[in-house]
Amino acid sequence: MLQVKNLNKTYTTETTSYPVLKNLSFQVQKGEFVAVMGPSGSGKTTLLNCISCFIPHDDGQILLNGKDISNLPERKMAKIRNRNLGFVFQDFMLLDGLTVFENICLPQVIAKKGIAQMEEKARRLCKMFSIDKLMEKYPAEISGGEKQRTAVARALMNQPYILLADEPTGNLDSKSCKAVIDAFLQAKNEMKATIFMVTHDSYAASFCDRVVVLKDGCFYTELSRTGSRRDFMDELLNTLRELGGGSDDDE
């Protein structure tokens, strides 16, 4: 579903170059829930921005469903972002002037889909993520966890190839965090969604099928969940301790 091949990204100033991603390769299979972790400065957010082509990479390939999206014209890339990529951000990115229901409908409004089809799908997603009683409320009237579940529903409206989540639990308390992770798991199990999540949260990552760990912009290791979630979280924490990583994500 998603393949990253020999990806490199360097930020350059007038006097200095800062290699952020170094010959990075990995893949995410259809229907997987995969996280990327690593210490601050390891390149997690830069990686996500390169995959979505919000920033250009220097060389390497990004294959989505077998097609290289690395160097597409912006107009074609905008269509791919709307139709084939779903986004969930730490700060929700909901439009304050639209209701929950209208925010969820937005991707299909942009794609110029039929109103009846759009509204039926939005109602179904609202019910799936237990926000159907909030449809007429505005973002300022709902909790952080409810906002993020709204964002997950919106991201799934066009049935994207993959859902890209950037620190989706970073601004949430533990109860809201679990509700959002449950929404991802529900999307994976009921809609066969493929989810790629950047996180510093070992608890959230412990629900994933696999975790790719970065160090200094390089692939460090990959961990797969084979036993209990708690055992997997312990394994993740031990790996991050070995790296000496903190919980900040400022790269």
pLDDT per position as a tens digit, 28-37: 999 999 999 9
pLDDT tens readout for residues 183-238: 999 999 989 999 999 999 999 999 999 999 999 999 999 999 999 999 999 999 99
Q: What is the pTM of this model?
A: 0.88
- The closest alpha carbon to 60, from 93, 117, 21, belongs to 21
249 pLDDT above the threshold of 80: no
pLDDT single digits (tens) 78-135: 888 888 999 998 888 999 999 999 999 999 998 888 999 999 999 999 999 999 999 9
3 state DSSP class of 29: coil
Q: What is the H or E stretch that residue 232 is in? A: helix 229-243
Q: Most distant CA pair in the chain: distance in Å?
A: 56
How many H-runs (helices) and E-runs (strands) does the chain carry? 8, 10
At 98, is the secondary structure helix, strand, or coil? coil
Q: What is residue 40's predicted lDDT score, i.e. its pLDDT?
A: 83
Distances (CA, A) of 26 to 6, 18, 53, 175, 226: 9, 22, 17, 32, 19
Cα distance between residue 147 and residue 140, in whole Å: 9
